[in-house]
Chain A
């Protein structure tokens, strides 16, 4: 078994990640040149709409991409490039060093194994412990997730749990080996508002307690506001903005980020029309030329339609893919809309 030696503050470093998938019409580009890092114990929010490539970024980290995918770049985790690991070595990282929670707990849980068996399996795969010890740890994990009567519930099957309870079981599985990184892909999207609030509380308290890093993927910026330290926005397979959560909501640099913030539920706004972004997200395989957002951008210039826009760093360390970011003053418009 292979152990990764983590050193320094960096936990995960993704460089020039590019991903293509084959279709009948040829290769289509899913991700282009994605670069970001996650520090130990940091919560990074990854937001974007369907088709922006956020879930495939997560699958790339877990090395769970389809076999026929064409990947380049590197995903460095504790000194190892995850893209180059053998199946066996990857298996020792998945579930132990990196845990994952998906949107649909029911399709991720085994229908004919008890919940306790499923948690024990993960523990026994990665650690040399007895069946009995693994079982009692499973029960402890369920208790940690605030599941009532954990000892009884461990003997039940997934279908006997409600959606919110299933998601707690998924969390118990993902956290059972104390991972350094948790990837949470829309973990609360399928849940009701009051249940979502419960799950978010658990995620937040576990994160603080274990100083675990989280890559939290969502389409709902509101969920990230109180959870994430930094937020990364993706659009049509590209990173378009990366900034601290404390600044991005008041002062976004990319027009798309601004549009997302304005069109998200905003309790302060009342009456009139909801702000929206015109048009639809582009289809994969039929990406616009130049800046991929230009057909929907109200600030687009002629040059945006023809020339690919590079990622730039601002003097204060923010990352954005827009050539007009320093002249637009997008934050001002948000102030006006909210007040």
Chain B
């Protein structure tokens, strides 16, 4: 696994204290607005050739982070840097020139490809806007791209509906790679696929990412896949990053009780192991972003909640291995000091 030496290299993409609010008319009232804080003070960086996994439940703000990176949304506060340049305030025309450098693959396979044009045209389109290649050069590049994602030249004349889900997602990936982006935002790229094709696309993404040295943000709800593909994992809860660290550390020895519960919720596909496994079932549901709990935002569902958690918001505490966690357990109370929260598990699991 790659170690990120923040001193030496420049991140391909960096968010500094980014906040995003959405407004809606107050329910049950004539006046006033509800403010939903979808992303609350998020800072992260992705280095070239690195892939960062962003996991969380629906409503945690993970897709909003992706959209902010793509500048499909404007942040309320904070800065966004692309290869060291602040792109937060760039106007539309300047931003359009940079669009080729930050590309995206989305979950909705049929919604991402124009049904009326052929695969060949779909792949040539980004090149017309974002490259200086002439027509015959573009044709060569399109052929390269289709083979890069494991399809063949005869697919170029087909229309999206003639391809299977997995093949269409390969086309989306090829299209995102057409302009040789520095940053790729993958928002649940395999969630809509069948189990047997899911792993094909995961393998392809991993191979391409290693070969092309792109910085990837891999947004997913499935911790297992993220653990497999990514170097680092960030866990979001209600708009905020509550734990971030190497994929191995976050997955094998989670420090935050929420990360622990998320991992414990993945059923093991072997009945002998599954039946003897201790499961943590969280109570309640994720609160709404219009009404974020005081103190630690997870305290309403946390099995280890202490008094301090209800009033004081924990900050991200950094440990020697580079992992960071926002949880009072590590400083107050049992003073875990960066150890896995798993040691507390036996005290309360049935």
CA distance A137 to B222 in the complex (A): 38
Interface positions of A from 186 to 233, Cβ below 8 Å from B: 192-198, 200-201, 219-223, 225-226
Contact (Cβ within 8 A) B266 A195: no
- Contacts known (A194-B57, A226-B274, A265-B225); A276 close to B199, Cβ less than 8 A: yes
Contact (Cβ within 8 A) B225 A263: no
User: In the complex, which range does the number of interface residues on chain B fall in?
Assistant: 35 or more
Contact (Cβ within 8 A) B282 A246: no
14 A–B contact pairs at CB < 8 A? Answer: A164-B285, A192-B221, A193-B57, A198-B282, A222-B274, A223-B267, A226-B271, A249-B271, A263-B199, A265-B222, A266-B269, A280-B167, A281-B197, A296-B196
Q: Tell me which residues across on chain B come within 8 A of A250, comparing CB atoms.
A: 270, 272
Interface flags for B196-214 (1: CB within 8 Å of A; 0: not) read 1111101100100000000
The answer, yes or no, to whether B279 is at the interface (CB within 8 Å) is yes
CA distance A281 to B283 in the complex (A): 38
Q: Tell me which residues across on chain B come within 8 A of A273, comparing CB atoms.
A: 203, 206
Interface positions of B from 26 to 71, Cβ below 8 Å from A: 57-58
The answer, yes or no, to whether B135 is at the interface (CB within 8 Å) is no
Choice from A193, A265, A274 contacting B269 with Cβ under 8 Å: A265
B212 to chain A, nearest CB (A): 17
The answer, yes or no, to whether A136 is at the interface (CB within 8 Å) is no
Contact (Cβ within 8 A) B265 A194: yes
Contact (Cβ within 8 A) B281 A193: no
Contact (Cβ within 8 A) B267 A195: no
CA distance A245 to B272 in the complex (A): 10
Q: Tell me which residues across on chain B come within 8 A of A200, comparing CB atoms.
A: 267
Q: Tell me which residues across on chain A come within 8 A of B268, comparing CB atoms.
A: 222, 225, 267
Q: Top 9 nearest A-B pairs by Cβ distance?
A: A276-B199, A265-B224, A274-B199, A222-B267, A277-B196, A192-B57, A280-B164, A193-B265, A49-B194
Contact (Cβ within 8 A) B195 A263: yes
The answer, yes or no, to whether A331 is at the interface (CB within 8 Å) is no
Q: Tell me which residues across on chain B come within 8 A of A201, comparing CB atoms.
A: 281
Count contacts on A: residues with CB < 8 A to the other chain: 46
Chain A residues in the interface with B (C-beta under 8 A): 49-50, 162-165, 192-198, 200-201, 219-223, 225-226, 245-246, 249-250, 259-261, 263-267, 270, 273-278, 280-281, 283, 296, 338
Tell me the nearest residue of chain A to B166, going by C-beta.
A280
Contact (Cβ within 8 A) A193 B199: no
Choice from A192, A219, A223, A278 contacting B200 with Cβ under 8 Å: A278
B278 to chain A, nearest CB (A): 12
B335 to chain A, nearest CB (A): 26
Contact (Cβ within 8 A) A281 B269: no
CA distance A141 to B313 in the complex (A): 38
Contact (Cβ within 8 A) B195 A220: yes
B340 to chain A, nearest CB (A): 15
Contact (Cβ within 8 A) B196 A197: no
The answer, yes or no, to whether B275 is at the interface (CB within 8 Å) is yes
B287 to chain A, nearest CB (A): 10
Interface positions of B from 188 to 239, Cβ below 8 Å from A: 194-200, 202-203, 206, 221-225, 228
Q: Tell me which residues across on chain B come within 8 A of A274, comparing CB atoms.
A: 199, 202-203, 228
Contact (Cβ within 8 A) A193 B285: no
- Contacts known (A260-B196, A280-B164); A225 close to B221, Cβ less than 8 A: no
Question: 4 new A-B pairs (CB below 8 Å) besides A222-B268, A222-B274?
Answer: A165-B285, A194-B261, A195-B285, A264-B195
CA distance A226 to B57 in the complex (A): 23
Q: Tell me which residues across on chain A come within 8 A of B58, comparing CB atoms.
A: 163, 192
The answer, yes or no, to whether B262 is at the interface (CB within 8 Å) is yes
B246 to chain A, nearest CB (A): 13
CA distance A275 to B221 in the complex (A): 20
B226 to chain A, nearest CB (A): 11
- Contacts known (A192-B58, A276-B197); A225 close to B274, Cβ less than 8 A: yes
B318 to chain A, nearest CB (A): 26
Contact (Cβ within 8 A) A198 B266: no
Q: Tell me which residues across on chain B come within 8 A of A164, comparing CB atoms.
A: 285
